[in-house]
Amino acid sequence: MTKNSLKTGPDELGYYGEGKSAMGGMAVGETLMPALHELNQGFEKAIKDKEFLDQFAYYCKHYIGRPSPLYFAENLTKELGGARILFKQEHLNHTGSHKITNSLFQVLLAKRMGKKSLICESGAGQHYSATAAVAAKFGMPLIGVMGEVDIARVNQNIIKAKHYGAKLKAVPGTLKEAITDAIKTWTTNPDFAYICGSVVSAHPFPKIVAFAQSIIGREIRVQSLEQEGKLPDMIVGCVGGGSNFAGAIYDFLDETNISKIGVEASETAALTNGTPGIMQGMKTYMLQTDDGAKSLGGMSLGAGITYFSVGPLHSYLKDQKAVTYSSATDQEMLEAYKIIARTEGICSALEPMAAAAEVIFRQAKDKPKDYTICLSLCGRGEKDLDTIQEHIGKDFE
Amino acid sequence: MSERFKKIFENNNPKTKLVSYFVGCYPTPEQSFELIKQAIDNGVSILEIGYCTSEASAEGPVIKAAHDYVLKNGYTLKDTIKLVEKIRDYNREVGILLMGYIANLYKYPINKFIDDIKKAGADAVLVVDAPHELKEENELRDSLNDNGLSLIKLAAPTTDQKRLEYIVKISSGFIYQVNVSGVTGVKSANETDVANFVKRIKSLTSIPVCSGFGIKSPEDAKKVANSGCNGVIVGSTFVKYIQDNINAPDLTQSFGKQVQSFSEVLK
């Protein structure tokens, strides 16, 4: 890592970049500041402890099932007739998404730091069910906070988390409201560990989550070299808070010859349509009223990417022009879902179908056959089956 | 530091100051002004005028509902600053601080915000989610100090000794002592904890200490005042009173009596 590297991470106060345009920081109440500093110190110590890292690696392999395969999507590649498409199969991880890697890392960290109880927030319920699984495994009680709209649409994750022994706190709304309430719940219980589900919120969470998820990109490197004899030419992933995509690209940030495209839901495309603001602990691009008083943004079919804001690392990478950010509509996501189900026999979650739509409709076709695109398939579709059936049944058949 | 705050705390009457929080423009700018006039007339020494944001991360259900009500009716920080101007025209002695979150100030932006509140007659600002680690806090603090205004800092039960020493060093006006870990208006303050915390802060500084969170009745206020703090802060209890009686025709007068029941025990 050199000084000019995009991988040097945030400074000690959590800023990506310098001066007034720096993103991130620590915008929370005084009650939580000591806990955030304690967490940062705990994290920095833990990642220098070989025994801790070995333990994380052990459970990544034996509990989660990592590495997730890098799979050549032969039929989809043929159908599109352009670039060679590879799926990073994060949906094959235990509990069905990339989220569990971060849950595992943070729960192990909480244990190492002597914490007794856990709090988490969730949008699609993937982070909630993943954290609940790990909490059960390591014998720690968990309170998950979710929006009522999401609880209704991702019922399977709620049921699973209940079986794992987690408690659910319902708040009106979606992921945005869940994040604000999780901070309140933590403020009320500052001795708990807050297991943040994405590269969002106050420092050091964006740094910790990016660290845990960066295993995705390191696996892509090894697998691509081994299977393809070269690195991918392009990496594409969906972005809500942005943890799976941050994890997929982190290892490649200084390799400018690899294109990187993050895809948000068009209803909540903070990086395309937003401006810098400070809410929910961080300075970052977000959709809000001009006076900064109200968060904005509509509803996407992808619960996990229905988020008016985005992790500060992504805002920084956008400003540095190191990564391209785009967006996809609900209809594009559903079309992409149908194509991937039909060609590859994979029932994907709707969130990564935003990234798939970018690949299928805008990137793959006009590329040469030796151009490889790695698409992060970060979650499986069981949680979305009701939504998918309702919309595909009504609108497309 | 604001000259007005200095005067307020130098005066021995009342012995302990009543500091009260209002959601600015709640339920309307006109009613808000009438309620605040009652508060001034019934013994409030310092007004905390809240401006609203949708993602307020430290507010319990009572204040959150009031914030949402104001936002829904479209009143903004600008309207709240206008309210401050009217309050200052009504009374020259009462201390006024604007209280809220960094989201609105960042967009205002900060330098214009300070110009506007200075003109309106405010004395200080308290930003809940702007610890000294935040760049915008540094900008705000420097600029307030340059303009003879105060940035009120929070000290929480979780604040360790090293942080507390730094916080008292950068504080001006008074220190807002947070009595409980939690959101506004839920947990109750514990007398012994409050007294120990006041002592801890007082051993480090001569800046006045105002104690808030978990003060729900005049009896609570009296107990907290006995801890030796310079002011007692009442927030959710007053907001809830307004909320519960929002359609009562005599709300303004009855609210005045409610405030008086607190100020009486602090004389």
- Show pLDDT as tens, one digit a residue, over chain B (267 residues): 678 999 999 999 999 999 999 999 999 999 999 999 999 999 999 999 999 999 999 999 999 999 999 999 999 999 999 999 999 999 999 999 999 999 999 999 999 999 999 999 999 999 999 999 999 999 999 999 999 999 999 999 999 999 999 999 999 999 999 999 999 989 998 999 999 999 999 999 999 999 999 999 999 999 999 999 999 999 999 999 999 999 999 999 999 999 999 999 999
**Centroid of chain to Cα A374:** 16
A299 φ/ψ sector (left φ>0, alpha ψ -120 to 50, else beta): beta
Q: Does the residue A12 lie in any domain?
A: no
How much is the mean pLDDT over chain B? 96
User: Which of residues A210, A235, A269 is at a domain's end?
Assistant: A210
Which residue bears the tokens 């200095």?
B6
Question: Residue A394's pLDDT is what?
Answer: 64
Which residue bears the tokens 């206020």?
B221
Interface test with A, best of B70, B75, B107 (most A CBs within 10 A): B107
Question: Residue A225's pLDDT is what?
Answer: 98
Q: Does one domain contain both A345 and A356?
A: yes
Which residue bears the tokens 């006995």?
B226
Confidence of residue A397 (pLDDT cuts 50, 70, 90): low
Q: Does one domain contain both A268 and A307?
A: yes
Of B106, B128, B156, the CB nearest to A278: B106
The tokens describing A228, both together, are: 């393809």
A47-68, pLDDT tens digit by residue?
Answer: 999 999 999 999 999 999 999 9
Other beta carbons within 10 Å of B108: 21
| Cβ within 8 Å of residue B130, ≥6 positions away | A27, B102, B136, B137, B140
Confidence of residue A393 (pLDDT cuts 50, 70, 90): confident
Beta strands in A270-371, from DSSP E residues, in sequence order: 275-279, 281-286, 324-328
Q: Does the residue A3 lie in any domain?
A: no
User: Which of residues A182, A210, A238 is at a domain's end?
Assistant: A210
Q: Does the residue A87 lie in any domain?
A: yes
Query: What torsion do the CA atoms of A90, A330, A335, A69 make, to the nearest 10 degrees?
Result: -10
Q: Does one domain contain both A282 and A192?
A: no
ipTM: 0.96
% of chain A surpassing 70 pLDDT: 98
Instruction: Give the DSSP H or E segment for A59.
Output: helix A50-59
B104-135, pLDDT tens digit by residue?
Answer: 999 999 999 999 999 999 999 999 999 999 99
Note whether A40 and A34 are within 8 A (CB).
Answer: no
Collapsing DSSP to helix, strand or coil, A191 comes out as coil
Tell if the CB–CB gap between A277 and B160 is shorter than 8 Å: no
- For CA atoms B132, B138, B142, B144, give the dihedral sign: negative
Q: Does one domain contain both A268 and A298?
A: yes
| Helices A50-59/A99-112 angle, 10° precision | 140
Q: Does one domain contain both A368 and A263?
A: yes
Instruction: For residues A81 and A77, give the distance between their C-alpha atoms in angstroms, rounded to a whole number.
Output: 6
Which residue bears the tokens 């109440």?
A29
Q: Does one domain contain both A273 and A370?
A: yes
Q: Does the residue A80 lie in any domain?
A: yes
Instruction: For residues B108 and A288, give the distance between their C-alpha atoms in angstroms, rounded to a whole number.
Output: 13
Q: Does the residue A17 lie in any domain?
A: no
The phi and psi torsions of B103 (rounded to 5 degrees) equal -50, -50
Note whether A311 and A326 are within 8 A (CB).
Answer: no
Note whether B133 and A29 are within 8 A (CB).
Answer: no
Instruction: For residues A108 and A101, give the distance between their C-alpha atoms in angstroms, rounded to a whole number.
Output: 11
Tell if the CB–CB gap between A29 and B159 is shorter than 8 Å: no
Query: Does B188 contact chain A (CB < 8 Å)?
Result: no
The tokens describing B216, both together, are: 């729900």
User: Which of residues A210, A230, A251 is at a domain's end?
Assistant: A210
B217-239, pLDDT tens digit by residue?
Answer: 999 999 999 999 999 999 999 99
pLDDT at A1 over 50: no
Question: Residue B199's pLDDT is what?
Answer: 97
Instruction: For residues A252 and A244, give the distance between their C-alpha atoms in angstroms, rounded to a whole number.
Output: 14
Tell if the CB–CB gap between A33 and B128 is shorter than 8 Å: no
For B87-101, give one letter per residue: b (16+ CB within 10 A) or e: bbeeeeebbbbbbbb
Instruction: For residues B62 and B56, give the distance between their C-alpha atoms in angstroms, rounded to a whole number.
Output: 12
Q: Does the residue A15 lie in any domain?
A: no
Task: Please spell the DSSP secondary structure of A298-315, one letter per residue.
Answer: ---S-GGG--SB--HHHH
Q: How big is chain A, counted in residues?
A: 397
Instruction: For residues A67 and B165, give the distance between their C-alpha atoms in angstroms, rounded to a whole number.
Output: 48
| Residues of A at the B interface, defined by Cβ within 8 angstroms | 13-15, 20, 22, 25-35, 176, 180, 183-184, 187-190, 277-281, 283, 288, 290-295
From the list A142, A356, A124, A363, the residue with the least C-alpha distance to A241 is A124
Note whether B245 and B257 are within 8 A (CB).
Answer: no
Task: Please spell the DSSP secondary structure of A195-231, one letter per residue.
Answer: E--SS-SSTTHHHHHHHHHTHHHHHHHHHHHHHHSS-
Query: Does B155 contact chain A (CB < 8 Å)?
Result: yes
A124-180, pLDDT tens digit by residue?
Answer: 899 999 999 999 999 999 999 999 999 998 888 999 999 999 999 999 999 999 999
CA angle B33, B34, B37 (to 5 degrees): 85
The phi and psi torsions of A381 (rounded to 5 degrees) equal -90, -5
Whether this prediction's pTM lies above 0.90 is answered by: yes
Residues of A in contact with B71 (CB under 8 A): 293-294
Nearest chain A residue to B53 by CA: give it: A293
Average pLDDT of span A226-232: 98
Q: Does one domain contain both A169 and A267?
A: no
Q: Does one domain contain both A46 and A86?
A: no
B247 to chain A nearest CA, in Å? Answer: 26
Q: Does one domain contain both A169 and A228?
A: no
How much is the mean pLDDT over chain A? 96
Collapsing DSSP to helix, strand or coil, A342 comes out as helix
Residues of A in contact with B55 (CB under 8 A): 176, 180, 279-280, 295
Instruction: For residues A282 and A70, give the distance between their C-alpha atoms in angstroms, rounded to a whole number.
Output: 33
Query: What torsion do the CA atoms of A377, A383, A388, A389 make, to the nearest 10 degrees?
Result: 140
Q: Give me the sheet containing A15-16, strands edge to edge.
A: A15-16, A23-27, A281-286, A275-279
| Domain limits for position A165 | 26-59+98-210
Of A20, A277, A291, the CB nearest to B77: A291
Q: Does the residue A303 lie in any domain?
A: yes
A179 to chain B nearest CA, in Å? Answer: 9
Domains of chain B in start order, with CATH, are 3-152+230-260 (3.20.20.70)
Query: Does B195 contact chain A (CB < 8 Å)?
Result: no
The tokens describing A119, both together, are: 């709090």
Q: Does one domain contain both A55 and A74?
A: no
A335-357, pLDDT tens digit by residue?
Answer: 999 999 999 999 999 999 999 99
Q: Give me the sheet containing A84-88, strands edge to edge.
A: A70-72, A84-88, A372-376, A234-238, A259-265, A324-328
Q: Does one domain contain both A90 and A115?
A: no
Q: Does the residue A375 lie in any domain?
A: yes
Domain count across chain A:
2
Q: Does one domain contain both A226 and A102?
A: no
A75-116, pLDDT tens digit by residue?
Answer: 999 999 999 999 999 999 999 999 999 999 999 999 999 999
Note whether A31 and B157 are within 8 A (CB).
Answer: yes
pLDDT at A2 over 60: no
Which residue bears the tokens 């895809």?
A263
Domain containing A126 — which CATH number? 3.40.50.1100
| Helices B251-264/B236-244 angle, 10° precision | 150
What Å distances lie between residue B27 and A311, A365, B36, B38, CA to CA?
35, 57, 12, 15
